[in-house]
């Protein structure tokens, strides 16, 4: 099929899922067109069946806010017509589903009927979308999509609770590409990060409030009192500066490394022992899944869709949001001896393997076909 994918091109989970899905679809022979304001970070080489179309929003001084939705829907109309695209898949409802619906309506004027799949990712529902300023438009664009998918059962439940939804929502979980990890890194440079006797704890996120970054540091503070360890913090975002200050204040500066954004998180995860994800809310927790496929155990909060990914007592442990004492004691339980740690690491890998793209991609192909045939 010829498929247009709209997503955020950034390091965030929804953009990563959309990009990896597009790449996998292209590998399966589909023609994939990414339409967004910048080339997605995980999108490497473009080729015969993988294209990128940039949405430009020219600055005009009259506009206090530049109209991205308008530019996106116009770009969608032009690209869909030019490349005879057969299906539109938008990731993250705001404003993509709204712009997609407008494009769909405009295309009907040319006798083109294109189905639109909307994938809900989390904050588009639980944080931003439910805000009264956006809610009517988000409700409308979900109801007007031809197929709606959600990345977890928990997110589906929240969507049905928070919005007046008049349609089915299919759950298609996020995925990883297991094949990519089948060969261990031969250049896994653990020694650059920590001494042989130290455990390595990692956190990767966009450093927003919802990630509860101070909890990551509080849990680590407790861990390092009992077990020699280092904390690696990967990502950029509004909470990063506070986090650096907090580490300084707690005398942890020498034990915590802030690495910024990385396109090579596997190189960091390959030497990590434990991943911390104490988020306030998380529709899925793709970062945890990426850790798990790299054989990293996870201690996380038990919010949203995380329990569907991190299996309590198997791939790691779950605690109530904000219960840093419990998280630290569970982390210590995992890290206490090599044998226990190895068991959790292997379990994490086994659980993550179930989310292999080989199992998930056909679910998307199935809904694409159904939507296309019933247009
Ligand atoms: O993690 C974030 O805050 C970024 C956000 C996004 O939309 O890119 O992530 C959301 O989508 C990811 C991919 O489906 C999920 O794994 C994350 O759990 C979800 N984030 C939240 O719900 C906070």
* CA–CA gap between residue 7 and residue 18 (Å, rounded): 6
Q: Is 316 close to ligand 1, i.e. is its CB under 6 Å away?
A: no
CATH 3.40.50.2000 residue ranges of the chain are 2-175+356-373, 179-353
User: Cβ-count burial of 90 within 10 angstroms (0-12 exposed, 13-18 middle, 19+ buried)?
Assistant: buried
Quick one: pLDDT at residue 198? 96
Cis peptide before 95 (omega within 30 of 0): yes
What is the H or E stretch that residue 148 is in?
Answer: strand 147-150
Architecture of domain 2-175+356-373: 3-Layer(aba) Sandwich (3.40)
Q: For a pocket test of ligand 1, which of 89, 157, 284, 303 has the largest count of ligand atoms closer than 8 A to its C-beta?
A: 284
| Packing angle of the helix pair 213-226, 240-249 (nearest 10 deg) | 30
State mean pLDDT over 73-85: 98
Q: For a pocket test of ligand 1, which of 40, 90, 119, 121 has the largest count of ligand atoms closer than 8 A to its C-beta?
A: 121
* CA–CA gap between residue 149 and residue 168 (Å, rounded): 9
Half-sphere exposure of 134 (CA within 13 A, CB side): 19
pLDDT above 90 covers what percent of the chain?
88
* CA–CA gap between residue 298 and residue 129 (Å, rounded): 29
CB 37 within 8 A of CB 68: yes
C-alpha to C-alpha distances, 216 to 140, 152, 160, 213, nearest whole angstrom = 37, 24, 31, 5
Q: Is 152 close to ligand 1, i.e. is its CB under 6 Å away?
A: no
Quick one: pLDDT at residue 187? 66
Query: Which structure tokens are listed for 210?
Result: 């919802």
Three-state secondary-structure class, residue 323: coil
Query: Which structure tokens are listed for 346?
Result: 């292997």
State mean pLDDT over 215-238: 97
Q: Residues 273-317: pLDDT tens digits?
A: 999 999 999 999 999 999 999 999 999 999 999 999 999 999 999
Q: Work out the end-to-end distance of the chain between its first and last CA atoms, rounded to an integer number of angstroms.
A: 14
* CA–CA gap between residue 50 and residue 42 (Å, rounded): 13
Architecture of domain 179-353: 3-Layer(aba) Sandwich (3.40)
- ipTM reported for the complex surpasses 0.85: yes
Q: Which residues fall within 8 angstroms of residue 137, CB to CB, at 6 or more apart?
A: 95, 98
Among left, alpha and beta (phi > 0; psi -120 to 50; other), residue 84 is: left
| Phi and psi torsions of 239, nearest 5° | -90, 0
Whose alpha carbon is nearest atom 12 of ligand 1?
13
Q: Relative to the CA of 282, which ligand 1 atom is closest? A: 22
Which segments of the chain does DSSP mark as H helices, in order?
A: 13-27, 68-83, 93-108, 123-126, 135-143, 153-162, 213-226, 240-249, 265-269, 286-293, 324-335, 338-353, 357-373
Q: Residues 92-128: pLDDT tens digits?
A: 999 999 999 999 999 999 999 999 999 999 999 988 8
Task: Work out the number of other CB atoms within 10 angstroms of the CB of residue 80.
Answer: 24
Three-state secondary-structure class, residue 210: helix
Q: Which residues fall within 8 angstroms of residue 50, CB to CB, at 6 or more apart?
A: 22, 23, 26, 32, 34, 43
Quick one: pLDDT at residue 358? 96
Q: Which of 115, 177, 117 is nearest to 150 (CA)?
A: 117
Task: Please give the distance, rounded to the nearest whole angstrom, from the Cα atom of residue 34 to the centre of ligand 1.
Answer: 19
Q: Residues 244-260: pLDDT tens digits?
A: 999 999 999 999 999 99
Q: Residues 171-186: pLDDT tens digits?
A: 999 999 998 875 556 5
* CA–CA gap between residue 90 and residue 80 (Å, rounded): 14
Task: Please give the distance, rounded to the nearest whole angstrom, from the Cα atom of residue 281 to the centre of ligand 1.
Answer: 9
Q: Which of 368, 364, 359 is nearest to 177 (CA)?
A: 359
Question: pLDDT category, 375, cuts 50, 70, 90?
Answer: confident
Q: Is 284 close to ligand 1, i.e. is its CB under 6 Å away?
A: yes
Q: Residues 1-37: pLDDT tens digits?
A: 999 999 999 877 999 999 999 999 999 999 999 999 9
Angle, alpha carbons 234-215-129 (nearest 5°): 80
Find the largest Cα–Cα distance for the chain.
68
C-alpha to C-alpha distances, 301 to 291, 306, 335, nearest whole angstrom = 15, 7, 18
């Amino acid at each position: 099929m010829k498929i247009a994918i709209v997503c955020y091109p950034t390091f965030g989970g929804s953009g990563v899922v959309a990009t990896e899905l597009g790449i996998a679809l292209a590998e399966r022979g589909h023609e994939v067109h990414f339409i967004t304001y910048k080339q997605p970070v995980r999108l490497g080489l473009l080729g015969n069946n993988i294209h990128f179309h940039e949405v430009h929003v020219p600055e005009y001084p009259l506009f206090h806010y530049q109209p991205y939705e308008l530019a996106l829907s116009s770009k969608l109309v032009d690209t869909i017509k030019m490349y005879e695209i057969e299906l539109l898949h938008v990731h993250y409802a705001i404003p993509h589903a709204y712009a997609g619906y407008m494009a769909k309506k405009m295309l009907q004027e040319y006798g083109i009927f294109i189905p639109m799949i909307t994938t809900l990712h989390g904050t588009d529902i639980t944080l931003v979308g439910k805000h009264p300023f956006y809610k009517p438009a988000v409700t409308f664009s979900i109801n007007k999509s031809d197929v709606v998918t959600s990345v977890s059962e928990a997110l589906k439940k929240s969507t049905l609770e928070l919005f007046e939804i008049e349609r089915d929502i299919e759950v298609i979980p996020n995925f990883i590409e297991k094949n990519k990890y089948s060969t261990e890194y031969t250049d896994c440079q653990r020694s650059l990060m920590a001494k042989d006797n130290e455990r390595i704890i990692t956190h990767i996120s966009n450093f927003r409030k919802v990630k509860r970054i101070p909890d990551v540091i509080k849990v680590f503070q407790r861990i390092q009192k009992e077990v020699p360890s280092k904390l690696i913090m990967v990502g950029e975002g509004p909470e990063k500066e506070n986090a650096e200050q907090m580490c300084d204040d707690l005398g942890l500066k020498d034990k915590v490394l802030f690495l910024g954004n990385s396109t090579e998180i596997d190189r960091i995860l390959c030497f990590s022992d434990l991943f911390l994800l104490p988020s306030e809310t998380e529709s899925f927790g793709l970062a945890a899944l990426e850790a798990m496929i790299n054989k990293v155990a996870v201690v996380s909060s038990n919010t949203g869709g995380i329990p569907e990914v991190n299996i309590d007592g198997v791939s790691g442990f779950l605690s109530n949001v904000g219960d840093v004492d419990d998280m630290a004691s569970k982390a210590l339980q995992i890290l206490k001896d090599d044998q226990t740690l190895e068991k959790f690491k292997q379990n994490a890998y086994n659980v993550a393997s179930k989310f292999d793209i080989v199992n998930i991609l056909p679910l998307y192909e199935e809904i694409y076909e159904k939507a296309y045939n019933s247009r």
